[in-house]
């Protein structure tokens, strides 16, 4: 697993780094970003994975969320992968909600996507192996995300019982089988079988989850332009209540879907994860 360091920036006493490596899983080069807090020099620390949303890459969160300050204070390593395979020969689509930047973190089974769009395996298997080889940690990890990345964070935790100590999300797509973003992506990547779709749907996965529940925090802005048609976090809240899940949905008045929203509450999310990672 070879990687190339692209850049390093000093940030709040730690280092914000960016790397590139060849992904065997995705059959293309991939970029990822890692923040190492100042305490990384002296001790082993936990990891928080961040998954970004539609149109984003590994740099949006790094440059807009302001998370480094709080990660430095709390001693949390941040790992931020890209949202999809990329490149001139990688299949794409003219719309922003399909193709490059819009993987929905699934393993595609349909042409022309299936050779490269194996993002579930990349995030679940290949990237963690690379991070483990590249950086020392104490073995504890949590996961968070925004929008499509919120869908990914919830889905990965539900499909990997015991792997993550906690999960949080900003404006996640919680029920992709039932909303336009998800139905479009799932149809193109997975075909028309709803049985194939449901194994990537957080509401279905929580409904059928049989392991020890993990704590979940969701923030949702009341002026999010995607709220009514695409997000509907109250659907997952209903399932969580039925399952007696440690689940908190916070409605943030007048906030939209942007990184202005994410940056306003990212401190809360890192503090939330710190309680379970420390």
Which positions are annotated as active-site residues?
Answer: 147, 224, 257
* 90-107 exposure pattern, b = at least 16 Cβ within 10 A, e = fewer: bbbeeeebbbbbbbbbbb
Nearest residue to 154 (alpha-carbon basis) of 223, 240, 270: 240
User: Which region holds residue 124: left if phi is over 0, alpha if psi is between -120 and 50, else beta?
Assistant: alpha
Nearest residue to 274 (alpha-carbon basis) of 87, 76, 85: 76
Q: Give the β-pairing of 141-146 and 77-81.
A: unpaired
* 183-194 exposure pattern, b = at least 16 Cβ within 10 A, e = fewer: ebbbebbbeeee
């Amino acid at each position: 697993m070879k990687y190339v360091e692209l850049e390093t920036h000093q940030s709040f006493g730690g280092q914000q780094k960016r790397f590139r490596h060849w992904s065997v899983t995705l059959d293309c080069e991939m970029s990822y970003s890692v923040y190492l807090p100042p305490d990384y020099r002296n001790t082993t620390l936990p990891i928080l994975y961040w998954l970004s949303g539609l149109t984003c890459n590994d740099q949006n969160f790094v440059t807009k969320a302001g998370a480094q300050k709080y990660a430095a204070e709390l001693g949390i390593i941040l790992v931020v992968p890209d949202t999809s395979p990329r490149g001139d020969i990688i299949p794409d689509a003219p719309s922003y909600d399909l193709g490059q930047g819009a993987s929905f973190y699934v393993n595609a089974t349909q042409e022309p996507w299936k050779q490269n769009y194996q993002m579930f395996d990349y995030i679940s298997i290949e990237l963690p192996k690379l991070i483990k080889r590249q950086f020392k940690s104490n073995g504890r990890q949590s996961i968070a995300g925004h929008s499509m990345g919120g869908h990914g964070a919830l889905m990965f935790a539900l499909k990997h019982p015991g792997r993550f100590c906690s999960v949080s999300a900003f404006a996640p797509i919680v029920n992709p089988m039932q909303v336009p973003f998800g139905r479009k992506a799932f149809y193109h990547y997975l075909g028309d079988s709803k049985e194939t779709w449901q194994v990537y749907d957080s509401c279905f996965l929580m409904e059928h989850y049989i392991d020890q529940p993990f704590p979940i925090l969701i923030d949702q802005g009341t002026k999010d332009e995607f709220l009514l048609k695409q997000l509907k976090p109250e659907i997952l809240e209903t399932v969580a209540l039925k399952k007696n899940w440690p689940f908190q949905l916070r409605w943030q008045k007048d906030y939209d879907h942007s990184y202005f929203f994410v940056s306003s509450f990212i401190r809360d999310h890192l503090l939330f994860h710190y309680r379970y990672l420390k």
